[in-house]
Amino acid sequence: MKLLPSLLSADFYNLEKSLLPLQKENIQALHLDVMDGNFVPNISFGSGLIEKIRKHYDFEFDVHLMVENPDKHLDAFAKAGADILTVHYESSKHIHKTLQRIHFLGKKAGLALNPATPLESVDYLIEDIDLLLIMSVNPGFGGQKFIPQCLRKIELAKEKIQSGKKKILLEVDGGIKVDNVESIIAAGAEYIVSGSDIFGAEDINQRIQKYHRIFKKMDS
């Protein structure tokens, strides 16, 4: 299991102050939500910011492209330092081609599904992805509540992955907090994305430590 703090909820006025506790608590990966104001009703940041962060930190960069026509942006974010490029099933007319392009760029390919998108959508793509992201809120804003019906979707996604031969990471993003993360892990999630619950905590270090204690308990 791996905890991926979502940069969307960090303090952009003092980004270094937000990221230092992650280093101290041995966080290995960072979730970077890119929003274009079209695919989702919000705008976040672009490849320029990610490139600047990459110069100073060695986190695994999980870049989540919540954008229309993601193919136009893949090269820029790959160059900026992404390790994983995750695109939405709903955002590309030719998603198979998009996933192939990500692999051509030497990056891991992630596929995200919105809450209402059927899991069956990945049936003919499963061999082309390295990560499956189950959205447990409707994307676009941080701080939303976890949609309970998504637990069953996570369970079914785990079963689908296990029935295949390829190693695929199962990631969940949206409304994850220390008081519900156990059920999400029990359903099969391996990559846990949490934003406001971490960066909005009074003590970020203590909050991350609590997640790590839960992970250790669930892994025993």
Query: Hey, which residues are catalytic here?
Result: 33, 173
What span, in angstroms and rounded, lies between the C-alpha atoms of 76 and 9? 23
* DSSP SS3 for 4: strand
Q: Which of 220, 152, 142, 163 is nearest to 189 (CA)?
A: 152
> Token digits for 115?
């809450």
Q: Which of 63, 67, 66, 75 is nearest to 101 (CA)?
A: 75
Strands 84-88 and 60-66: parallel
Summary count for the chain: helices (H), strands (E): 8, 8
Q: Residue 125 to residues 46, 131, 145, 166: CA-CA distances in angstroms?
A: 27, 11, 29, 12
